[in-house]
């Protein structure tokens, strides 16, 4: 996957996920990741962008890091930034239908101050759009989101490095 910015190798969570791990995660969440998401995970798993932002829904958002897929039992502090781990901690705030099959919102990116960039499977299970899930506005079974992009690739094109000021 070609990115509009560089990610140093030491800012990527290793080991990179295999097709089998991606499939197992999809099965666990009851979703199918778009091909561009799979390609990103296989190359830039859990990337830490350090200083990067994007503009959407009338707001500039600051990216903390991408979530990762690591094998269960991985002995790394980055395991707390796992897609499944994060989803399981927030699932009742990211779902409208507790009896629904599969995840409705799947977090992919941690934003500054506790919000997340997510794939939104509520209206379609194929090619889900990208939204920002707002933690302070979301309640039990009432997620609050803002639209960001129609695809993950479109979202990736919105990100730009933002050098810290001294």
Q: Tell me the two tokens of residue 51.
A: 């200083």
DSSP conformational letter for 94: S
Residue 157 counted as domain residue: yes
Average pLDDT, the chain: 88
* Residue-number span of the structural domain to which 136 is assigned: 13-161
Residue 4 counted as domain residue: no
Residue 3 counted as domain residue: no
Residue 33 counted as domain residue: yes
Work out how many domains the chain is built from and give that number.
1
Whole-prediction pTM value?
Answer: 0.91
In this structure, are residues 63 and 51 in contact, taking their beta carbons and an 8 Å threshold? Answer: no
Residue 131 counted as domain residue: yes
Calculate helix-pair angle for 83-90, 19-29, nearest 10 degrees. Answer: 10
Give the tens place of pLDDT for each residue, 21-52.
999 999 999 999 999 999 999 999 999 887 89
Give the tens place of pLDDT for each residue, 108-149.
999 998 999 999 999 998 999 999 999 999 988 889 999 999
CATH of residue 48's domain is 3.40.1580.10
- Beta strands in the chain, from DSSP E residues, in sequence order: 52-56, 59-66, 105-111, 116-120, 130-133, 145-149, 160-161
In this structure, are residues 104 and 93 in contact, taking their beta carbons and an 8 Å threshold? Answer: no
């Amino acid at each position: 996957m070609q990115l509009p910015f560089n990610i140093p190798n030491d800012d990527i969570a290793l080991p990179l996920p295999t097709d089998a791990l991606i499939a197992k995660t999809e099965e666990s969440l009851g979703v199918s990741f778009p091909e561009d998401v799979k390609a990103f995970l296989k190359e830039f798993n859990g990337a830490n962008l350090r200083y990067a932002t994007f503009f959407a829904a009338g707001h500039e958002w600051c990216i903390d890091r991408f979530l990762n897929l690591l094998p269960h039992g991985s002995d790394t502090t980055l395991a707390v930034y796992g897609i499944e781990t994060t989803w399981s901690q927030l699932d009742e705030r990211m779902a409208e239908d507790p009896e629904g099959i599969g995840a409705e919102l799947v977090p992919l990116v941690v934003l500054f101050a506790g919000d997340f960039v997510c794939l939104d499977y509520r209206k379609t299970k194929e090619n889900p759009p990208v939204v920002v899930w707002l933690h302070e506005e979301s309640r039990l079974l009432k997620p609050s989101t803002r639209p960001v992009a129609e695809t993950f690739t479109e979202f990736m094109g919105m990100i730009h490095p933002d050098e810290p000021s001294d």
